[in-house]
Amino acid sequence: MRLEGVHFRYEDAPDHVPDVIDGVDLEIRPGETMALVGVTGSGKSTLLQLVPRLYDVTGGTITIDGVDVREMSLMDLRSLTAVAFEDATLFSDSVRDNVLLGADPALSEEESEALLHLALRTADATFTYDLPVGVDTRIGEEGMSLSGGQRQRLALARSIAAKPAVLLLDDPLSALDTKTEEIVTERLREVLEGTTTLIVAHRTSTVALADRVALLEGGRVVAVGTHAELMETSARYRWVIAHQAEERRRDQDIETLTGELELRAIQEEGR
């Protein structure tokens, strides 16, 4: 996948603000996993969304195997790519149908079933087996409500089951607790082997999944290299990584505190 001179600005952006994506050149080799790192607002999510054309570039080109994504039919493009974004959307449908949404329709029933379970295991989403009617349980707006972390794991399972040539993951583990995150990271490593992947990483453990990292700053790539290389050569990279670890500790403190308060409220209600 190659990004050449990519620019993007949102339609409603006032004239004086620079492009959100301000001239990005990147090459992701076949089978390579590249992480996108950068502070909030640096353009990571926007850049990811340009690949499956959730938005169209306003300058430059994105090609996959030499073909401009704008020259592919949306159907071809969407079967070539799979996305899992941070705020996962699930459909009012069964777990099974949600996960197998992008799976190859030519699969036999047995093959689909095997794929479903592989994807659920990889994404540590086997909690679905314990739902009222297991993987046939209806979820989404009209079904069982799930936590953010559970939705995120199902979205990840869906993107894995699609077996795409290009996988786009926007901080897919952000809502998981540390232990679950470790499990998923380990399993994801196997799946990512051989899949061309662009992954927005917020945590160092996710960054460690990547062959190379691109540091995004104000819509521009300011450094590319392995995590170790960037740690050694880029003061800015070291700062961003440290800053994110700090942010994460704060989030965890808030999570723990919220959990304790909720627990106390439940206990008091029970009295």
Ligand X SMILES: Nc1ncnc2c1ncn2[C@@H]1O[C@H](COP(=O)(O)OP(=O)(O)O)[C@@H](O)[C@H]1O
How many binding residues for ligand X (CB under 6 A)?
10
Asked if residues 13 and 39 have their Cβ atoms less than 8 Å apart, the reply is: no
Residue 110 buriedness (CB in 10 A; 0-12 / 13-18 / 19+): exposed
Least spacing, CB of residue 222 vs ligand X, in Å: 13
Q: Report in angstroms how near the CB of residue 45 gets to Mg ion at its nearest.
A: 3
CB of 232 to Mg ion, least distance (A): 26
- Kindly indicate which of the ranges 33-41, 58-66, 150-158, 243-251 contains the residues binding ligand X, using the contact rule CB under 6 A: 33-41
CB 61 within 8 A of CB 4: yes
Whole-number Cα distances in Å, 119 to 102, 114, 161, 171: 12, 9, 6, 18
Q: Cβ of residue 216: shortest distance to ligand X, in angstroms?
A: 7
For residue 98, what are its two tokens?
Answer: 């949600």
Q: Contact at 8 Å (CB) between 84 and 155?
A: yes
Nearer to ligand X, 45 or 79 (CB): 45
| Site for ligand X contains 46 (CB under 6 A) | yes
- Say whether 198 sits in a helix, a strand or coil: strand
Contact residue for ligand X among 5, 10, 239, 258 (CB under 6 A): 10
Find the binder of ligand X among 1, 6, 20, 69 (CB under 6 A): 20
* SS3 label, residue 167: strand
- Could you give the CA distance from residue 173 to residue 217 in angstroms, rounded to a whole number? 22
Is 14 near ligand X (CB under 6 A)? no
Closest CB to ligand X among 40 and 108? 40
Q: How far apart are CA 2 and CA 265, in angstroms?
A: 52
In the complex with ligand X, the residue whose CB is nearer, 10 or 129, is: 10
The yes or no reply on residue 43 touching ligand X (CB under 6 A) is yes
Residue 45 or 61: the one with the smaller Cβ distance to Mg ion is 45
Q: What residue ranges bind Mg ion (CB under 5 A)? A: 45
- Binding residues (CB under 6 A) for ligand X: these are 10, 20, 38, 40-46
